[in-house]
Amino acid sequence: MTTPKLLIGCIADDFTGATDLANNLVRAGLRVVQTIGVATEPLDLAADAVVVALKSRTIPAADAVAQSLQALAWLRAAGAQQIYFKVCSTFDSTAQGNIGPVTEALMDALGADFAVATPAFPDNQRTVFKGYLFVGDGLLNESGMQHHPLTPMTDPNLVRVMQAQCRRRVGLIDHAAVAAGEAAVRARIAALRADGVGIAIVDAVSNADLLRLGPALKDMPVVTAGSGLAIALPANFGIAPSTTAAVLPPAQGLRAVLSGSCSRATLRQVAHFQAQGLPVRSIDPLRLASGADSVDQVLAWAEPLLASGPVLVYSSADASAVESVQQQLGTQAAGSLVEHALAGVARGLVERGVRQLVVAGGETSGACVQALQVSRLRIGPQIDPGVPWCHAPSDVPGQPGLHLALKSGNFGSDDFFTKAFAQLA
Ligand code: ADP
């Protein structure tokens, strides 16, 4: 069935970020489908919102703009009434970054003279106050993000960061206005407009702030935000939170976890799974590189175990082990070697009957989804903030689809890998 009109059309600049946004939209009551890249044809699944997952966060700005405009064209053709450009809740965008150029390109295409931008995601401790982004109790530039290999965030003031990327003037809708509610926000927007400001960073330190902000954004053609703002927009379309939006087909088949994330939360999740006495198999990049280990060997290990419960295959390692591997193989080479291997394991496991698969790691998830030739996902119930179960319908009529949970590295509680399957059951 084709949806007559999409309410919200979303463009996400990375893969797990797309799922994170979709998750919040579903919790707010929308039926959501995520497409991997821009779909080539109209959607055949009923949806109130579509999230187009791009991989445009760190590519050259001109390419990010071109891909985002292509996504915009598809979403407009599907009738989208508001466009949501989803960016990272830690902004992940330096002066050379893409958030400003893409926001302005979308505004130009939509004829919008004003847009807001806020990465606030209070559920995950990302808050904005006086335009400064906090991660937990500290500023962005003290959160570890100042050392990010691709997008070092050394300035926590988002008005300055955004201004460095934009032609339009950037201003601030501060907490005083947000706390006072819709009328105050609208008055602040009018004042900023009169001052020649085209884009405003918005303060928000709680979900209540976002919910107060939402009504003032009704009819704004494009918003740029982390996933947090998603909780506040569906009400503008008369939609209330419900559990029916999150219903997926029943789960069946065998279960497995793949982890290529070396983030601290994932390392704890791997240790927790192992401590339950469940079967685990590590992949060592150096042994892969030397040919001493292979995808076939991993699959031969997994095959007899799958019938008894979930297995975990992981390359996750602590920072010193990763650094040593990177020195020997090169950072890029080590990463793509591991991604390729885990993607091969994902394909082999699905061929062996796995139909419930948890993948940890943003890049790792992208590689696995690509290897599995998944082109669209229906978004289901949340497992932990930012991570829902998803369902990829089979292209073969009558064949069961695949349930996938794609976890960004630092998301999820320590028992995530076992909790996820318990929830699906
Ligand atoms: P996260 O979401 O935690 O950032 P990603 O999957 O996005 O996780 O990134 C992890 C990267 O590290 C991937 O490119 C992965 O292939 C690579 N990697 C995984 N394990 C190892 C390892 N043991 N040594 C070196 N690189 C690794």
Please tell me the predicted confidence (pLDDT) of residue 398.
74
Which atom of ligand 1 approaches the CA of 407 most closely?
2
Instruction: Give pLDDT tens digits for 379-388.
Output: 999 999 889 9
Please tell me the predicted confidence (pLDDT) of residue 145.
82
Residue with the smallest CA separation from ligand 1 atom 3 is: 409
> Does 247-424 match 8-241 at the fold level?
no
Residue with tokens 């939360």: 265
Q: Is the CB of 201 under 6 A from ligand 1?
A: no
> How far apart are alpha carbons 122 and 85 in whole angstroms?
18
Please tell me the predicted confidence (pLDDT) of residue 332.
87
Cα of 186 to ligand 1 centre, how many Å? 44
pLDDT band for position 280 (cuts 50, 70, 90): very high
pLDDT band for position 3 (cuts 50, 70, 90): very low
pTM comes to: 0.89
Please tell me the predicted confidence (pLDDT) of residue 15.
87
- Specify the higher pLDDT residue, 121 or 145: 121
Is the pLDDT at 250 greater than 70? The verdict is yes
Angle, helices 416-424 vs 264-275, to 10°: value is 70
Cα of 260 to ligand 1 centre, how many Å? 5
Mutation test residue for ligand 1: of 147, 286, 338, the one with most atoms within 8 Å of CB:
338
Lowest mean pLDDT among 119-133, 162-176, 336-350, 387-401: 387-401
Contacts of the segment 190-196: beta carbons below 8 A, 24+ positions apart: 192/114, 193/113, 193/114, 195/169, 195/171, 196/169
Please tell me the predicted confidence (pLDDT) of residue 2.
44
Instruction: Give pLDDT tens digits for 167-178.
Output: 999 999 999 999
Please tell me the predicted confidence (pLDDT) of residue 403.
98
Is the pLDDT at 79 greater than 90? The verdict is yes
Please tell me the predicted confidence (pLDDT) of residue 43.
84
**8-241 belongs to which homologous superfamily?**
Putative sugar-binding, N-terminal domain (3.40.50.10840)
Please tell me the predicted confidence (pLDDT) of residue 149.
67
Instruction: Give pLDDT tens digits for 392-414.
Output: 998 777 778 999 999 988 889 99
Is the pLDDT at 1 greater than 50? The verdict is no
The CATH code of domain 247-424 reads: 3.40.980.20
Please state the rounded mean pLDDT for residues 33-51: 92
> How far apart are alpha carbons 34 and 408 in whole angstroms?
16
> How far apart are alpha carbons 96 and 101 in whole angstroms?
10
Please tell me the predicted confidence (pLDDT) of residue 4.
55
Q: Is the CB of 361 under 6 A from ligand 1?
A: yes
For residue 195, the 8-state DSSP code is T
Q: Is the CB of 359 under 6 A from ligand 1?
A: no
Among the residues of 352-409, which ranges form H helices?
362-371
Please tell me the predicted confidence (pLDDT) of residue 144.
83
Is the pLDDT at 166 greater than 80? The verdict is yes
List the domain boundaries for the chain. 8-241, 247-424
Q: Is the CB of 312 under 6 A from ligand 1?
A: no
> How far apart are alpha carbons 305 and 311 in whole angstroms?
7
Please state the rounded mean pLDDT for residues 133-145: 91
Please state the rounded mean pLDDT for residues 254-259: 98
Q: Is the CB of 362 under 6 A from ligand 1?
A: yes
Q: Residue 324 is encoded by which pair of tokens?
A: 């040593």
Please state the rounded mean pLDDT for residues 81-93: 93
Cα–Cα distances in angstroms (integers) from residue 392 to residues 8, 35, 249, 270, 399, in the given order: 21, 10, 10, 25, 11
